[in-house]
Amino acid sequence: MPVKQVARSRPEVRGLGMTSQRARDRLIERLQGEGIRDRRVLDTLRQLPRHLFIDEALASRAYEDTALPIGRGQTISQPYVVARMTEVLIEHALPARVLEIGTGSGYQCAVLATLVEQVYTVERIDELLRNARRRFRKLGLDNIRSRHDDGRLGWPEEAPFDAIMVTAAGTDLENTLLDQLAPGGVLVAPVGPPGRQELLRVRSTDQGWQREILAAVSFVPLLGGVV
Ligand code: SAH
């Protein structure tokens, strides 16, 4: 299945120099070298303008494989991590409805929105959520619903989801989220204290929850309350 294309008529979406298509192509080569294999994931990272998800002052670094600050003490995840988490989320089956916790810049959400039918995303910092929504509109991504709330609660009114991706690290995996997974669904989340976080994949099977540890990772913390 081909990935959904974003609106590219505006010059700032296409980019120039350090934000050009060539810069994106080089990032994709690097991700392939690091083991990212899923064609759909590579195709969508190749087309998405990551430079529009960060402050203009940092735009020249958008296609380095590194996390970058997005304000309010938060970061846009490293492209490799975005690619890998997306890959493991869609590996066994392409989910139709996906819940993301931690909208942040909106980049991971945009990646998901080009691959699946409908994305739901929750962010606790209102200012970040507003910026992300502007980016979704600019790119013509109209299959994203977003909510300003504590994502540890999930989005019960819209549950169950075929897949859930958490992009901030809790000390434990919340049952509240697992309970919002559809049968056969998959959840990917970083879990653990700073310095000892692991990326987990949990699959809901006929025999119960199947947990796998995928990698050591470093994410900002999953915090309570909204601001
Ligand atoms: N997916 C984002 C990553 C942003 S970093 C991106 O691609 O840019 C993680 C985000 O999770 C931050 O924006 C942080 O504010 C948010 N977050 C932390 N705890 C949260 C919670 N309980 N509910 C919702 N969002 C939360």
What residues are labeled active site?
A: 77
Domain residue limits, the chain: 68-217
What are the residue ranges of helices labelled H in the chain? 11-14, 21-33, 39-47, 79-90, 107-115, 126-138, 175-178
Instruction: Please state whether the peptide bond connecting residue 95 to the residue before it is cis, i.e. omega within 30 degrees of 0.
Output: no
Residue burial 178-191, b: 16+ Cβ < 10 Å; e: rest:
bebbbeebbbbbbb
The predicted-structure confidence for 137-174, as pLDDT tens digits, reads as follows 999 999 999 999 999 999 999 999 999 999 999 999 98
This prediction's pTM: 0.97
Atom of ligand 1 nearest to the CA of 70: 8
Six-digit token pair at 53?
A: 């998800």
The predicted-structure confidence for 179-189, as pLDDT tens digits, reads as follows 999 999 999 99
Q: Give the pocket of ligand 1 (CB within 6 Å).
A: 74-77, 101-102, 104-105, 107-108, 122-125, 128, 150-152, 167-168, 220, 222-223
Decide: 102 and 166 in contact? Cβ < 8 Å: yes
Q: Whose CA is nearest to atom 12 of ligand 1?
A: 104
Read off the DSSP letter of residue 158.
G
- So what's the pLDDT on residue 174? 83
The predicted-structure confidence for 83-140, as pLDDT tens digits, reads as follows 999 999 999 999 999 999 999 999 999 999 999 999 999 999 999 999 999 999 999 9
For residue 106, give the H/E element and its range.
none
Tell me the CA–centroid distance for residue 101 and ligand 1, in Å.
6
CATH fold, domain 68-217, is Rossmann fold (3.40.50)
How many other C-beta atoms lie within 10 A of the C-beta of residue 40? 16
3-state helix, strand, coil in the chain (%, to 5): 35, 25, 35
Tell me the CA–centroid distance for residue 153 and ligand 1, in Å.
13
Q: What is the mean pLDDT of the chain?
A: 96
- So what's the pLDDT on residue 2? 81
Tell me the CA–centroid distance for residue 47 and ligand 1, in Å.
23
Q: Alpha-carbon distance 57 to 59, whole Å? A: 6
The predicted-structure confidence for 106-117, as pLDDT tens digits, reads as follows 999 999 999 999
**Angle CA(39)–CA(219)–CA(224) in degrees, nearest 5?**
120
What are the residue ranges of helices labelled H in 1-74? 11-14, 21-33, 39-47
Decide: 23 and 15 in contact? Cβ < 8 Å: yes
pLDDT at 1 over 90: no
Q: Whose CA is nearest to atom 26 of ligand 1?
A: 102
